[in-house]
Amino acid sequence: MSSPHFPSELEEQILEEVPSSTLPGESGQPIAGRSLTQLAWARLKRDKVAMTALVFIILLVVITVFAPLWANLLNIDQYEPDRAVLDDATGGLPTGWLSSGISWDHPFGVEPGSGRDIAGMLLFGARISLLIALTSTVLIVILGVTIGTATGYLGGRFDSIMGRLIDFILIFPILIMLIALSTPLTQRIEDWTGLQGNSSRILYLIIVFTFFGWPYLARIVRGQVLSLREREFVESAVAMGSSSRRIIFKELVPNLWAPVIVYATLALPSIIAAEAALAFLGVGVVPPEVTWGKMLSDSVVYYQSVPTYLFIPGTLLFIVVLAFNLFGDSVRDALDPRAGRV
């Protein structure tokens, strides 16, 4: 007589995640399987923090993408100063509540000294910050996945050479390099591309963030590929005579998206915060364009006389970075079967 079979922990989780109406014997239909994406989305939908963060991120993207439209609807101009709300007797500080210039025309007040509308500066400043962060993250993912997959699958001398290159990049003090190379590399970019002013500075930040960001993802992907290439489905593809291109794009890459998505959702807010820190140190765009980090840098001079000028952009930056981090943590938990059940 065979011994009774007790369901394992994995079997119990599968039974819990499958709707009861699809179990055999009740409706006569076979069990409906769900992909990793479907299971992850089901977990995310049950996570109220993740959904709140996702809604906030979507609203932020919509607002920043259509910033000119909102500016026209709200009659906001980030470049046009309103000198009427400045008090020359106090050195150009705004009038009104907390010397901020807050009114119906300027719901977040005006910038001390210039009279520029802070709401407009926040609206268009977010476009630059998100442009730098999103572009850098996409390029990091492309380079990290490509190089990490190639080194992990091919191995040999190519793996050794790329491993030494990654080690060489990672030993650089990133912050010092960003500050030291800002002026000479920006001038080189202007000479090579023809871009001038803030366009070359934005491109410089994207290049530097990408250059120092892809090695971390490449190492993660390489480790995943080293594990995957020993799995049965990859060995079966090799035994069947599949080409390396097919094995990489059909067998390996589709199984790498979980760690890649997690890394991307966590890297993006890190770049936003890094751009703000660099703007605070004087690296980044110059007037009349602004970013949230640039606003924080300029507001330090007025933190006692106009506290709202520091508090408003600082709070918004904190909320944005927190939302991305919370959503990234939730995505990581949703893609990890051991982290929880639907």
Show the 3-state SS of 13-76.
HHHHHCCHHHCCCCCCCCCCCCCHHHHHHHHHHHCHHHHHHHHHHHHHHHHHHCHHHHHHHHCC
Residue 232 lies in a domain: yes
Instruction: Please give the residue that has the higher pLDDT: either 257 or 17.
Output: 257
pLDDT averaged over every residue in the chain: 80
Residue 290 lies in a domain: yes
State the DSSP code for 249: I
Predicted local distance difference test score (pLDDT) of residue 10: 44
pLDDT over 70 at 337, yes or no: no
State the DSSP code for 167: H
Give whole-number Cα distances, 165 to 169, 174, 219, in Å: 6, 15, 12
User: Which residues span the domain enclosing 237?
Assistant: 125-335
3-state secondary structure (DSSP) of residue 119:
helix
For residue 117, what are the β-bridge partners?
A: 110
- Within 10 Å of residue 98's Cβ, how many Cβ atoms? 14
Lowest mean pLDDT across 112-116, 240-244, 328-332, 336-340: 336-340
**Which run of H or E residues covers position 2?**
none
- Within 10 Å of residue 197's Cβ, how many Cβ atoms? 12
Residue 296 lies in a domain: yes
For residue 93, what are the β-bridge partners?
A: 87
Instruction: Please give the residue that has the higher pLDDT: either 12 or 175.
Output: 175
pLDDT over 70 at 1, yes or no: no
Lowest mean pLDDT across 88-92, 149-153, 157-161: 88-92
Q: How many domains, in total, are found in the chain?
A: 1
Residue 112 lies in a domain: no
Residue 247 lies in a domain: yes
Highest mean pLDDT among 7-11, 93-97, 332-336: 93-97
pLDDT over 70 at 341, yes or no: no
Lowest mean pLDDT across 228-232, 294-298, 335-339: 335-339
- Within 10 Å of residue 174's Cβ, how many Cβ atoms? 15
3-state secondary structure (DSSP) of residue 224:
helix
Residue 307 lies in a domain: yes
Q: Which residue has the tokens 């106090």?
A: 90
Residue 288 and residue 67: Cα distance in Å, rounded? 17
Give residue-wise pLDDT tens across range 9-28: 444 444 455 454 444 544 55
Residue 315 and residue 129: Cα distance in Å, rounded? 15
Predicted local distance difference test score (pLDDT) of residue 29: 54
Residue 148 lies in a domain: yes
Tokens representing residue 151 in the block: 């080194």
Residue 277 lies in a domain: yes
Angle at 229 between CA 227 and CA 230, to 5 degrees: 75
CATH number at residue 325: 1.10.3720.10
Predicted local distance difference test score (pLDDT) of residue 143: 93
56-75 CB burial, b ≥16 within 10 A, e <16 = bbeebeeebeebeebbeeee
pLDDT over 70 at 223, yes or no: yes
Q: What region does 114 belong to: left with phi over 0, alpha with psi -120 to 50, or beta?
A: alpha
Give whole-number Cα distances, 113 to 86, 153, 184, 310, in Å: 7, 58, 31, 14
pLDDT band at 6, cuts 50/70/90? very low
Give residue-wise pLDDT tens across range 65-84: 888 888 888 888 777 888 77
Asked whether the beta carbons of 254 and 293 are under 8 A apart, the reply is no
3-state secondary structure (DSSP) of residue 107:
coil
pLDDT band at 8, cuts 50/70/90? very low
pTM of the model: 0.78
User: pLDDT > 70: what percent of the chain?
Assistant: 87
Predicted local distance difference test score (pLDDT) of residue 258: 78
Asked whether the beta carbons of 203 and 182 are under 8 A apart, the reply is no
Query: Over the Cα atoms of the chain, what is R_g?
Result: 26
Closest C-alpha among 78, 119, 81, 65 to residue 308: 119
